[in-house]
A and B are shown apart, each in its own frame.
Chain A
Amino acid sequence: MKSAERARLQTAMIRFADGERAAFREVFDGLWPMCLALATRSLRERADAEDVAQRSILKVFDQIVDLDRRRDGVAWALTITAFEVLTLRKQRLRRREDDVDIDPIDAQPTPMDRLAERELYDHVRDVIGELSERDQHALQSMLLGETPRGEAARKRRFRAIERLRAAWRKAHG
């Protein structure tokens, strides 16, 4: 979006927030494609992206009367969309976890699942292998279900998990 268009949209948002009802269409037509584009870029499924964009545009209009005129209104609207994207991702993740807990029969692994699981273990092993010996030891004791003895061991385990997370993110995004 060009800066002139963005400035015009910002002005329209302020006008609408100030009570000029006629500015609604300009604000909606300016914000909707941006929210949809951000959601589409962030989510794989088109349907999810549309749901998120709709939720976020409704939220924007729900809060627009309290718009802070000194701040960038477009950035504020996009932040709401980004937050909705994150919320959907979290919900999906939680639902997956819940499904595993609730329905163990459906969770019987198929050969494809087993293959994927093995690949996952291999990746985890590779990443753990890149860590220092001390971290590897701490993680190993955790996987064996041992309780850490003392505050130092607990902290070491915590740091090892953090480093594992960072290494995983670096390797697999």
Chain B
Amino acid sequence: MVDVEALAGRAQRVAARSRVRMACRIAVVIVPLACLSLANGGQVGACACLGAALFAVAAYHRWRDRAGVDAVRTGLLLGAVPLVAALGLNACGMQCAPGWAITEAEVACFAAGAIAGIAASLLVARTPRDRRRRWVSTILVASLTAALGCVGLGAAGVLSTLVALVASASVVWIPVALRAS
């Protein structure tokens, strides 16, 4: 005779393990991104830290629920915009200037970050529910992905990208949040 309660407990544990496994599968995307950033001139320590942080955030959101899975997907896709821009800049031999000087590289990083931020807010605004939480998750993942991508250009590149991404996303998000409340 089957002990149904014990079986239910086992099934619950199996489902929990499976969810963790599914969440960790995102490493398949994040590890190559970190390697790409490393190949783009990023320091090993910085790339490892940002990669680990991105993995932790992405895995947690994916583990939590379906909205998190969608947010991570959108965040990674949009965070890849500054990453590609950084790759292009590096390929052209452009680097961010030390200190607070603004060069073409910073402007390009700023523009890429702004595009990613605006697109993230517009995409999340279309979703039917859990908008606020999705927005926070998407922006967090996109910011970490963008930072990982721009780390090879220097601190100024990372900073300008992050400022642009978060500021533009917030500016676009405010009317959406006001309309919803």
Instruction: Give the interface size class of chain A.
Output: 20 to 34
Chain A, range 1-40, C-beta contacts under 8 Å to B = 16-20, 24-25, 28, 32, 36
The answer on a CB contact under 8 Å between B12 and A19 is: no
Q: Is the CB of B14 within 8 A of A20?
A: no
Report yes or no: A24 in contact with B12, Cβ–Cβ below 8 A: yes
> Does B18 make an interface contact (CB < 8 A)?
yes
Q: Interface majority SS on A: helix, strand, loop or mixed?
A: helix
A61 adjacent to chain B (CB < 8 Å):
yes
Residue of A17, A20, A28, A54 touching B2 (CB-CB under 8 A)? A54
Q: Considering the complex, which residues of chain B in the window 1-27 have a beta carbon less than 8 Å from any beta carbon of chain A? A: 1-2, 4, 7-8, 10-12, 14-15, 17-19, 22
With contacts A19-B64, A19-B66 taken as known, whether A58 is within 8 angstroms of B19 at the C-beta atoms is no
**B104 contacts the other chain (CB 8 A):** no
Confirm or deny: B68 has a beta carbon within 8 angstroms of a beta carbon on chain A: yes
From the candidates A18, A54, A64, name the one contacting B66 in the complex (CB within 8 A): A18
Q: Please, how many angstroms separate the alpha-carbon atoms of A63 and B22 in the complex?
A: 10
Flag if B11 contacts A50 (CB, 8 Å). Answer: no
- Number of inter-chain CB pairs below 8 Å: 51
A38-67 at interface with B (beta carbon < 8 Å):
50, 53-54, 57-58, 61-66
Report yes or no: A66 in contact with B22, Cβ–Cβ below 8 A: yes
CA distance A20 to B2 in the complex (A): 27
Task: Tell me how far the C-beta of A106 lies from the nearest C-beta in chain B, rounded to whole angstroms.
Answer: 32
Given contacts A17-B66, A19-B65, A54-B7, contact A62 B15 (CB under 8 A): yes
Establish whether residues A58 and B65, one from each chain, have CB atoms under 8 Å apart when the complex forms.
Answer: no
Measured between C-beta atoms, what is the minimum distance from A32 to chain B in Å? 7
In B95-146, the 8 Å CB interface with A consists of: none
Chain B residue with the shortest CB-CB distance to A32: B4
A58 touches B10 (CB 8 A): yes
Cβ of B12 to closest chain A Cβ, rounded Å: 6
Cβ 8 A contact of A28, one of B1, B8, B65 = B8
Residues from chain B with Cβ under 8 Å of A19 in the complex: 19, 64-68
Q: A17-B66, A18-B66, A19-B65 are in contact. Are A58 and B2 (CB under 8 A)?
A: no
- Contact A61-B14, Cβ < 8 Å, known A25-B8, A32-B4: yes
Instruction: Given A18-B65, A19-B64, A66-B22, decide whether A58 and B8 contact each other with a Cβ distance below 8 A.
Output: no
Q: With contacts A17-B66, A19-B68 known, is A65 near B22, CB below 8 A?
A: yes
Contact between A64 and B18, CB atoms less than 8 A apart: yes
Alpha-carbon gap, A42 to B89, bound state (A):
64
Picked from B11, B18, B67, B68, the residue with its CB within 8 Å of the CB of A65 is: B18
Interface residues of B (CB under 8 A from A): 1-2, 4, 7-8, 10-12, 14-15, 17-19, 22, 64-68
The interface of chain A, by Cβ under 8 A from chain B, is 16-20, 24-25, 28, 32, 36, 50, 53-54, 57-58, 61-66
